[in-house]
Structure 1
Amino acid sequence: MSTPPNIVLVVMDTARFREVVALDRYIDRSAIHRLSDEGSTYTRTFTTAPWTLPSHASLFTGTYPSKHGAHADHKHLDESLETVAETFAANGYETVGVSNNTWISEEFGFRRGFDTFHKTWQYIQTDTDLGEVARTTNGLEMFPALARRLIEGNPVVNIANAVYGRFLRKRRDDGARRTNEWVERWLGERHDRPFFLFINYLEPHLEYRPPKSIATQFLPEEISYAEAMDISQNAWEYIAGRTDHSEQQFEALRALYFAEIAYLNRRIGDLRESLVDADEWDDTIFVLTSDHGENIGEHDLMDHQYCLYDTLLHVPLIIAGGSFDGGGEIDELVQTTDIPPTLLDAAGIDADEVRSQFQGRSFHPDAETSARKHVISEYMAPQPSMDALDEQLDGLTSTARQYDRSLRAIRTEQYKLIRGSDGSMELYDIVDDPNESVDVASDRSDRSRHLEKELDQWLDSFEHANASGAVSMSERTKSRLEELGYIQ
């Protein structure tokens, strides 16, 4: 590429590695595996955190939660670190973000650096959102609630968003189709300069509501689509011991989850075609990854909280275009913090100052960097907190209380150590036990001590963020997060 390439960074929210890889067994020449065949597939890529806000903060800044300070006890990406969008903007790129996840918005610090930032939950982009009122009130109660909210901004815009949020927003999917339609329009109108495009697709996130035509391909024969959709997807009630699931029910939920990824695969193919039709594909570096995975009964958990097992940390990473084409499968350890410096290398951007903040290392094919010896992940505080769960569920069992802790993990080629603030220590031989089912910490204490020392040395090697304390958010944002299953 003689001119700076476009950069497209796509996050499949909540897509774990194993299902993305499995697509190829069920879908002939899937869009995702077409990318994989053409580009480079990094088969051992791990995120820095098991949920959206801290993992995206790492992806945007090239730093770990301990350094960027965005986590459950401080739900905001503060301005102390430069984001990759700011870096691309400062180097002549048009920067565009499209988010389907409420966490990834200006309210939590993720708008910085984007010339344009589109939130798919709003029909007309505004800071005032009547969609929350329309979604959470009914009948005659809606009208006084709408009237009160009207005075917060433009009445016409507010009413349009209210109607959109109530009647139109979720008719077809969780935003992927609308995202692609918006991107296609933008591609036809955009400025004539290279662009950095970030997209967060939400489909694999709870609740799983895939199209029936896709889901029935993967459901067990003895479970109908209607029966599968009736299975409780309330992760917090399951974790608290209020509901129980049979293995057959979990099998059905995993099928629904897989169907969401299969559906998203189609939309990713459509995105590619839009870039091709706009004559941009040949000038584009296309990055496909995830922010974290999911537990669907594994480790007696649902959703993506309270642990640092590979069900949450092992994510897909495929890069096509430029020097990445023809790279095949690469099995070296990669961390999502490594993506920002790699993208700057792909764009030919020096940016020495922002590179000095990165804790990641470039894995660009032309980069002269050594392979990683380990990857590290952090869970700085439980989300939701035990107090929030207790209030929501009117009491918790001692089993649920065990999750009231922070966690850190260090993973090498063979071993993974997980250390909790409660004094817990787990060690897994992930070569012999990839499902992390047998804790060998007591049998291999020397290995545990060695990895713990490496983890402590890493923690001592940089300055930690001072960010702490609750961050205020609007009631409409709280409501939207509750729709995604988050408890504040």
Structure 2
Amino acid sequence: MTDRSNVILLVFDTLRADALSCYDRAFPVETTAFDRVARRGTVFENAFAVGPWTPPSHGAMFSGRYPSDTGFDGAWPTMPESVPLLAEWFSDRGYRTYGIPGPAKMGSATGLDRGFDEYYEVYEEVAKRPSLDYLRQLVTDPLIRRDFLRLAGAGNDYYSEIKFDRLREWLADAPEPFFAMANLTTVHSPYDPPRPYKRAATPELSRPRFGLAEELLDAPCEFDDPEIRDERLFDAADGADATSIALRYFEDDEYVSDAELDVLREWYAASLRYLDDRLGAFLDWLDRQGLADDTLLVLTSDHGELFGEHGGFYHGDFLYDEVTRVPLVVSGPGVPAGERRTDLASHIDLFATLCDLCGLDAPETDGSSLLGDARRDAVFAAKAPSDERDAEAASEVSEETLREFEVGRKSIRTDEYRFELRSDGEEVLYELPGEAVVSDPDEAVVAPLRERLAATLGESFDGAESATDAEYSAGVERNLRELGYLE
């Protein structure tokens, strides 16, 4: 017990804010555990990421600085050692630190592990299931044995429970004060929640009785519905060819039908229901351990997900609200309980906010404490130019479609408008809510937005990178393929 609060930062990869019942209830799920934290703390209703996918969002959360300052963006970035990072800052001030990354895009090769006493990279630590190496781990690691039993009965949960187990294991023995972070990819594609949850969402799905049979034998799963093309649906849910599927859907919105989109949304919601149950069990454990009263708990996401809105699919390519608006719920010492904040907030503010709540000095960042008197009137986001020519579908779609995915984007969003500058020089003004394009924008509206955007994120765009340029360990490569970052 110390006079400084502990910190647990949970990042739920790909979780849309509007999917939660303490936000907009746009998906068919009651998230009672998230609601529980919301009642105990403060909900920031209009919080936004600084980018549309994992690297820029985590870089901003960990540094308090925009990717345009740190260069941490693109396919395989590395954080400059000169930039102070959140775990490093807390470690230097006496905190024990522990991290569990989600995608390998935030693994130790990126430098985001700096400052963590331990950084548990599950894709490196747990062998591919069900390989011989995995079977060997069953003998020596009780948590892996528990994972196998879950796999055999309920099916894959994409290491969600292993991560919560590892986090509990570390917290049980950690001296205070501590800083812990975990990213959970439970709702990231593939949209394949454990079997009881998937069965409840789509009881009409025919599949093998046991999860292990499905995993080992690649046994067929199918719908008896003429409007659902099983192979197309499962390819879209899997997300292994995410870029190609997104390109084809942008070109032709019948590539994934409305009926298939409805199923994908149901499976996403079912994955969230499972995640909420796991979070609830973790909250119960914190209460039993006597840690809840002395610990700041931060629940957020690195980005959202598109399910056909604006012609988009998945994430990483566009800066629409469905991708950049994220949940941000904070509870614990010094945080008002039951408060809902409607002003704008950004991941860029998280570093300063946690330092403020823990009574620590803070480095110079691009953000400010959300507990201060100042209120944001704008948030900023960017997407670096990319090279999608290696995608399988690149030769199948028009040059115009390909350009939409490769172009860099910078955005400023206020309560009324979102203004976007593209690397090809095009400017677009969107009216909020709904982000309808303003066909003939008033220069009196656009000019100050353009000026603020340039002042904050700069006017230049970094060059395009390709994820295929990097070299990966076997575990990292497997993880990137599972999550659709490599085809």
Q: TM-score range by the shorter chain?
A: 0.7 to 0.9
Does the aligned pair in 1 maintain the 2:343–2:377 contact within 8 Å? no
Q: CA RMSD in A?
A: 3.3
Does the aligned pair in 2 maintain the 1:441–1:448 contact within 8 Å? no
2:438 maps to which of 437, 440, 451: 440
Measure the CA separation in 2 of the matches of 1:122 and 1:159. 18
Q: Secondary structure at the match of 1:481?
A: helix
Structure 1 gap ranges (5+): 125-129, 136-141, 147-155
How far residue 121 of structure 1 moved from its aligned partner, in angstroms, is: 2.6
Mean CA deviation greater in 222-231 or 412-421: 222-231
Q: Does 1:268 align with 2:284?
A: no
Q: Secondary structure at the match of 1:323?
A: coil
User: Deviations 1:347-406 (Å, cap 9, x if unpaired)?
Assistant: 11014xxx21x1011012xx34x1112100010123xx222225x765543243222210
Q: Which residue of 1 aligns with 2:344?
A: 333
Mean CA deviation greater in 450-459 or 284-293: 450-459
Q: Tell me: CA distance 1:449–1:464, structure 2 relative to 1, closer, same or farther (3 Å).
A: closer
Q: Tell me: CA distance 1:269–1:325, structure 2 relative to 1, closer, same or farther (3 Å).
A: farther
Q: Secondary structure at the match of 1:322?
A: coil
How far residue 99 of structure 1 moved from its aligned partner, in angstroms, is: 2.1
Q: Does 1:449 align with 2:447?
A: yes
Q: Which residue of 1 aligns with 2:187?
A: 204
Q: What is the TM-score normalised by the length of structure 2? A: 0.82
Does the aligned pair in 2 maintain the 1:107–1:473 contact within 8 Å? no
Mean CA deviation greater in 285-294 or 258-267: 258-267
Aligned pairs for 1:222-371 (under 5 A) are 226-227=222-223, 230=231, 231=233, 232-233=235-236, 234=239, 235-241=242-248, 244-351=255-362, 355-356=363-364, 358-364=365-371, 367-368=372-373, 370-371=374-375
User: Deviations 1:89-113 (Å, cap 9, x if unpaired)?
Assistant: 0011000101232122111111100
Measure the CA separation in 2 of the matches of 1:239 and 1:28. 29
How far residue 326 of structure 1 moved from its aligned partner, in angstroms, is: 1.5
Does the aligned pair in 1 maintain the 2:384–2:464 contact within 8 Å? no
Structure 2 gap ranges (5+): 208-221
Amino acid at match of 2:248: G
Q: Secondary structure at the match of 2:106?
A: coil
Amino acid at match of 2:482: E
Q: Tell me: CA distance 1:177–1:334, structure 2 relative to 1, closer, same or farther (3 Å).
A: same
Aligned pairs for 1:131-210 (under 5 A) are 131=128, 168=148, 171-190=155-174, 192-210=175-193
Number of aligned positions between the proteins: 444
Q: Secondary structure at the match of 2:3?
A: coil
Measure the CA separation in 2 of the matches of 1:236 and 1:203. 20
Amino acid at match of 2:334: S
Measure the CA separation in 2 of the matches of 1:48 and 1:200. 17
Q: Which residue of 2 aligns with 1:386?
A: 388
Does the aligned pair in 2 maintain the 1:24–1:30 contact within 8 Å? no
Measure the CA separation in 2 of the matches of 1:424 and 1:223. 45
Measure the CA separation in 2 of the matches of 1:25 and 1:295. 13
Amino acid at match of 1:375: V
Q: Secondary structure at the match of 1:334?
A: strand
Q: Which residue of 2 aligns with 1:474?
A: 472
Q: Which residue of 2 aligns with 1:99?
A: 101
Q: Secondary structure at the match of 1:42?
A: strand
Measure the CA separation in 2 of the matches of 1:185 and 1:372. 39
Q: Tell me: CA distance 1:412–1:23, structure 2 relative to 1, closer, same or farther (3 Å).
A: closer
1:426 maps to which of 421, 425, 428: 428
Task: Give the % identical residues.
Answer: 27
Q: Tell me: CA distance 1:278–1:452, structure 2 relative to 1, closer, same or farther (3 Å).
A: same
Q: Which residue of 2 aligns with 1:372?
A: 376
Q: Which residue of 1 aligns with 2:89?
A: 87
Q: Tell me: CA distance 1:299–1:467, structure 2 relative to 1, closer, same or farther (3 Å).
A: closer
Runs of 4+ displaced beyond 6 Å: 156-161, 221-225, 463-471
User: Deviations 1:260-301 (Å, cap 9, x if unpaired)?
Assistant: 111111111122122222221111010000000011111112
Does the aligned pair in 2 maintain the 1:45–1:316 contact within 8 Å? yes
Q: Which residue of 2 aligns with 1:127?
A: none
Does the aligned pair in 2 maintain the 1:287–1:319 contact within 8 Å? yes
Measure the CA separation in 1 of the matches of 2:463 and 2:2. 43
Measure the CA separation in 1 of the matches of 2:139 and 2:461. 44
Measure the CA separation in 2 of the matches of 1:182 and 1:456. 43
Amino acid at match of 1:240: L
Measure the CA separation in 1 of the matches of 2:484 and 2:31. 33
Measure the CA separation in 2 of the matches of 1:55 and 1:72. 11
User: Deviations 1:146-171 (Å, cap 9, x if unpaired)?
Assistant: 9xxxxxxxxx889989xx79x94964
Q: Secondary structure at the match of 2:391?
A: helix
Does the aligned pair in 1 maintain the 2:388–2:394 contact within 8 Å? no
Q: Tell me: CA distance 1:460–1:304, structure 2 relative to 1, closer, same or farther (3 Å).
A: closer
User: Deviations 1:38-88 (Å, cap 9, x if unpaired)?
Assistant: 210000000000000111011100011101111115522221201000000
User: Deviations 1:122-160 (Å, cap 9, x if unpaired)?
Assistant: 446xxxxx649x87xxxxxx9xxx9xxxxxxxxx88998
Does the aligned pair in 2 maintain the 1:174–1:202 contact within 8 Å? yes
